[in-house]
Structure 1
């Protein structure tokens, strides 16, 4: 017997089905705040069947390797077939541990999870994050690698290469801007609603646990660059697009997803103040950034 669990993330409804003897809160603890008690309301972003396995994973045949990526869990490989994608998650030693099969629109998913692995729940969450970040591109939304804070009225996002101080800058905002709180520290969602861009908390927040079912209109997005001084540059049009593009999650080899991303980013930069902040990790950088971003709110 299986049991269905529904979650609402950035106002997208998604379904996860698994055997009823599996504990969803133990496997996906960061999803608790996003549980939906009214699964019949709204169209599903995707349906995912979780299929627990031991060491016998399904055999992948006739595949084309499209992309590889590495994270703290190991190596992720993306394979393409005529009608579907297959993602494999392997340990750093090369042992394939978990597999996700999906149609190319990321609406029907099967997750083969080796439940004898200690990271089984983390792996399932990671595979769901990848699928979610692709599926929302069809709905004028994008998952961005950034830290996001809010002041109770607006959200502010900080992007940049790993190690540039996104989390540090977000922490400084919470220290020096009254009423400022963390919305998400790694993977917030941006979604268009008419001419408004909203930022949403998600179940994925990197190393800082912050899983909030909250959203705010975005007052500004800043790309951080480490420097011995503090200087803010406003970016417009193409430059604003270029500032945001590297931090967006999408499959580079899928032209449809890429086009959807570009359409969404063009509308985002037309609606939201975008800047580059050359900065030190100090209170002056925070106050300069805040002052520049609230000019047009």
Structure 2
């Protein structure tokens, strides 16, 4: 067994997280208190691991290396960070940059290898207490690095009833969180698993499991648990409640926009699509035109649970 007790490593220490049964190592300056700067990760900390971590990240307060290599701008659009965001590619790395709201600070940069399994995050220590940027860039790296392990980071709200989970997909503002709340309010024995970024994974036995994560949007729901996924439902706002079963290509098109994989890395993107094709063969997929009312929750539950 590898000993993972926190020890001074020339001013750094290692902390380990287990998310979706995948171990990530985060190396941070020794003075950093993880539960203060990453409170949503508290339930995912592990003290001992049985094997080397699959994903390694390091946080440094030093200046990022001077970039003398040619980079290609891939994106400068971010819902979260607006025009303060850049995503670039060099011959060896993907580079994520987020400018600080404080003009006197240098902002944050993350250099990741092309498979995202190793990353270094450069930021000022003062940023840890005033922004969620560290959690966000860890999600970016983790969400890409897990793809070869048949795991996909979804943008979804997920509820659990009994031993099954149901994930609601859709564009931002569609009403995913509202629909989850309707299930919790009007249906018996329902609880929230995650309200923004769960992970769906194909396990070795072929079962499709969905996991809570440290990333749950504005809703503080950080459950370190896994549940068998029963259905994926894409929501659309409408003037009436109407259900449609979808399969094959139509099902893939329904779930693909809610999945996290950078389109510029064809290897990772194709692996994610392969996993999605297996997931939709084993998990029911539906489309729900809906109002934000209890009848929508009843209709959805009857279609995917009672198969009516």
TM band (smaller chain)? over 0.9
SS at match of 2:304: helix
> 27, 42, 51: which is aligned to 2:51?
42
Q: What CA RMSD, in Å, does the superposition of the two structures yield over aligned residues?
A: 1.7
Which residue of the partner structure matches residue 60 of structure 2? 51
Please state if 1:179 is matched with 2:189: yes
Distance, in Å, in 2 between the alignment partners of 1:231 and 1:76 is: 38
Describe the shift of the 1:257–1:247 C-alpha distance in structure 2 as closer, same or farther (beyond 3 A): same
Question: Residue 44 of structure 1: SS of its match in structure 2?
Answer: coil
- Note the 1:78-97 alignment, pairs <5 A: 78-91=87-100, 97=107
- Separation in 2, partners of 1:30, 1:178: 28
State whether residues 184 and 205 of structure 1, in contact with CA within 8 Å, keep that contact through their aligned partners in structure 2. yes
| Aligned pair partner of 2:178 in 159, 165, 168 | 168
Structure 2's unaligned 5+ residue stretches are 1-10
Corresponding residue to 2:162 among 148, 152, 159? 152
- For the Cα contact (< 8 Å) 1:156–1:220, is it kept in 2? yes
CA shift at 1:80, angstroms?
A: 1.1
Deviations 1:196-235 (A, max 9, x none): 2111000000000110101100111100011111111000
**Offset at residue 63 of structure 1 (A):** 1.2
Contact 2:100 2:108 in 1 (8 A): no
Matched residue, 2:114: 104
- Aligned counterparts of 2:80 and 2:269: Cα–Cα separation in 1: 26
**SS, match of residue 117 in structure 1:** helix
Partner of 2:76: 68
- CA displacement at 1:72 relative to structure 2: 3.2
Aligned to 2:250: 239
In the alignment of these two chains, the number of paired residues is 293
CA distance in 2 between partners of 1:244 and 1:59 (Å): 40
Provide the C-alpha distance between the structure 2 equivalents of 1:168 and 1:45, rounded to a whole number of angstroms: 35
Q: Measure, in 1, the Cα distance between the counterparts of 2:162 and 2:41.
A: 23
TM-fit CA distance, 1:121: 5.5
Q: Which residue of 2 aligns with 1:9?
A: 19
Give me the whole-angstrom Cα distance separating, in 2, the residues matched to 1:133 and 1:283.
33
Q: How does 1:216-235 map to 2 (within 5 A)?
A: 216-235=227-246
Find out whether 1:140 has 2:147 as its counterpart. no
What is the distance in 1 between the residues matched to 2:233 and 2:102?
37
8 A Cα contact 1:73 1:91, kept in partner: no
| Native 8 Å contact 2:106 2:123 kept in 1 | no
Q: Partners of 1:13 and 1:120 in 2: how far apart? A: 27
Q: Cα distance, 1:295 vs. partner?
A: 3.6
Deviation for aligned residue 1:68: 2.7
The equivalent position to 2:291 in structure 1, one of 265, 273, 280, is 280
**Pairwise CA distance, 1:58:** 3.5
Give TM-score scaled by structure 1 length: 0.94
Aligned position for 2:263: 252
TM-score (ref. length: structure 2): 0.91
The unaligned stretches of length 5 or more in structure 1 are: none
1:115 corresponds to 2:125: yes
Q: Does 1:201 align with 2:212?
A: yes
